[in-house]
């Protein structure tokens, strides 16, 4: 079975770059807005991680002879999966912000699954698989945080 073309690989990597840019900005915005300092630290770490993912994906695109795609950053940011974050930020509520971030991660997991299930080969595939595992871990972590904050809020209101 032949792998995907170099051009297709570059296109897929650029799409993942946009997904990671969305996550980087989404997490940064959430970290700046949440009142819980422990949660803010977690969100800030994920923002930095996504920034590192962007840099690695862009390096791979350039290694393949392509150009890192500049489109979609500010105009579409917080649109794919992170759209609910804006509403959650208004109150700085940790549970609502964790839930919004978990939704954003769900979108990222889906974007990576599409590429992982493609015929991409070589160093690009290794990079994407590694990042996909880390995004899956982040998604699971945000899901746990969402559930923990909801439980804590419920117990507080009893």
Q: Tell me if 16 is assigned to some domain.
A: yes
| Inside any domain, residue 1 | no
Using a 10 angstrom Cβ sphere, with 0-12 exposed, 13-18 middle and 19 or more buried, the burial of residue 37 is: exposed
What is the average pLDDT across 18-44? 89
Tens of pLDDT, residues 90-120: 677 778 888 888 888 998 999 999 999 999 9
- Contacts of residue 27, Cβ cutoff 8 Å, sequence gap at least 6: 43, 44, 46, 47, 50, 101
CATH number at residue 139: 1.20.1260.10
Give the chain's domain count: 1
Residue 85 lies in a domain: yes
Residue 143 forms part of a structural domain: yes
Per-residue pLDDT of 115-141, as tens digits, reads: 999 999 999 999 999 999 999 999 999
**Greatest pairwise CA separation for the chain in angstroms:** 60
Find where tokens 């150009």 sit.
67
Print the domain residue range for 145. Answer: 6-157
pTM summary value: 0.85
Report d(CA 52, CA 58) in Å as an integer.
10
């Amino acid at each position: 079975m032949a792998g995907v073309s170099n051009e297709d690989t570059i296109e897929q990597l650029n799409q993942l770059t946009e997904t990671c840019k969305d996550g980087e900005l989404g997490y940064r915005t959430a970290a700046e807005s949440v009142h819980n300092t422990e949660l803010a630290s977690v969100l800030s770490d994920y923002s930095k991680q996504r920034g590192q993912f962007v840099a690695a994906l862009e390096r791979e695109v350039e290694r393949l002879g392509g150009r890192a795609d500049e489109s979609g950053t500010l105009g579409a940011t917080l649109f794919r999966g992170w759209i609910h974050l804006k509403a959650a930020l208004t109150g700085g509520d940790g549970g609502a912000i964790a839930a919004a971030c978990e939704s954003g991660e769900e979108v990222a997991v889906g974007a990576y699954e599409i590429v992982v299930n493609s015929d991409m080969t070589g160093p690009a595939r290794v990079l994407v698989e590694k990042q996909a595992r880390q995004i899956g871990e982040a998604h699971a972590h945000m899901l746990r945080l969402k559930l923990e904050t909801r439980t804590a809020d419920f117990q507080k209101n009893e």
